[in-house]
Chain A
Amino acid sequence: DIQMTQSPSSLSASVGDRVTITCRASQGIRNDLGWYQQKPGKAPKRLIYAASSLQSGVPSRFSGSGSGTEFTLTISSLQPEDFATYYCLQHNTYPPWTFGQGTKVEIK
């Protein structure tokens, strides 16, 4: 099984900060990775697909990069509505499809 190691598990940041979240895959997954945002009591929402493609309707302050084993989600200027938990998901080798452990972005 492919393990996805996401870091950090949580972070505190201020509005306007640049935020970076990382996912590392235990083996190469090409660019078969998505990033998801989840707010309390809500379903996950896809932000990024194919590692770096922005989902339609998602603000351009969100970006993704990486290929192979290391991937990054960047929020260029954190907004109040961005405080949430973020997950990566690999869909290269399955089953199982595997998620990162999540990163909770909190207000500093």
Chain B
Amino acid sequence: EVQLVESGGGLVKPGGSLRLSCAASGFTFSSYSMNWVRQAPGKGLEWVSSISSSSSYIYYADSVKGRFTISRDNAKNSLYLQMNSLRAEDTAVYYCARDPEYDYWGQGTLVTVSS
């Protein structure tokens, strides 16, 4: 059974940093591109970042470019999102989702940016 479990969310002050993790199981993690998607409170879904299976291709939404860094460790079946210079508008539930076509999603982890 495919499972994706996010962790690392929490309350952080504006300008602060946070690192999210997504632990994958039930499939060959190293064969799949992975994605981060977020959802601000009461809002829709927003794509954040994607990374190919071997980390050769990495993409970011304009809203996070230069502040967020996606990475993965295929030996540990884990996906990461390093978030720096956090802003109030980054407050959201962050989901990891598997490619292709976002077929499986984790349960999400809440990031709250507030003073």
Residues of A within 8 A of B (CB): 34, 36, 38, 42-46, 49-50, 55, 87, 89, 91, 94-102
With a cutoff of 8 Å between Cβ atoms, the chain A residues found around residue B50 in the complex are 94-95, 97
**Count class of interface residues, chain B:** 20 to 34
With a cutoff of 8 Å between Cβ atoms, the chain A residues found around residue B47 in the complex are 95-99
Contacts A99-B44, A101-B44; A94 near B105 (Cβ below 8 A): no
Nearest chain B CB to A6 CB, angstrom units: 9
Nearest chain A CB to B60 CB, angstrom units: 8
Contacts A43-B95, A87-B45; A96 near B105 (Cβ below 8 A): no
- Residue pair B61, A44 in contact (C-beta under 8 Å): no
Select from chain B the residue with minimum beta-carbon distance to A46. Answer: B103
A–B pairs, 27, beta carbons within 8 Å: A34-B101, A42-B107, A43-B95, A43-B107, A43-B108, A44-B45, A45-B105, A46-B103, A49-B101, A49-B103, A50-B101, A87-B44, A91-B100, A91-B101, A94-B50, A95-B47, A95-B61, A96-B47, A96-B59, A96-B61, A96-B62, A97-B47, A97-B102, A99-B45, A99-B46, A102-B44, A102-B45
With a cutoff of 8 Å between Cβ atoms, the chain A residues found around residue B59 in the complex are 94-96
A-B contact count, CB below 8 Å?
56
Select from chain A the residue with minimum beta-carbon distance to B44. Answer: A102
Select from chain B the residue with minimum beta-carbon distance to A102. Answer: B44
With a cutoff of 8 Å between Cβ atoms, the chain B residues found around residue A89 in the complex are 45, 101-102
Q: Which of B69-115 contact A (CB under 8 A)?
A: 95, 100-108
Is residue B21 within 8 Å, beta carbon to beta carbon, of the partner chain? no
With a cutoff of 8 Å between Cβ atoms, the chain A residues found around residue B102 in the complex are 34, 36, 44, 46, 89, 91, 97
Nearest chain A CB to B92 CB, angstrom units: 13
Select from chain A the residue with minimum beta-carbon distance to B61. Answer: A96
Whole-angstrom distance between the alpha carbons of A91 and B33 in the complex? 13
Further contacts, 6 of them, CB under 8 A, given A46-B102, A95-B47, A99-B45: A34-B101, A38-B45, A42-B107, A43-B107, A46-B101, A97-B50
With a cutoff of 8 Å between Cβ atoms, the chain A residues found around residue B106 in the complex are 43
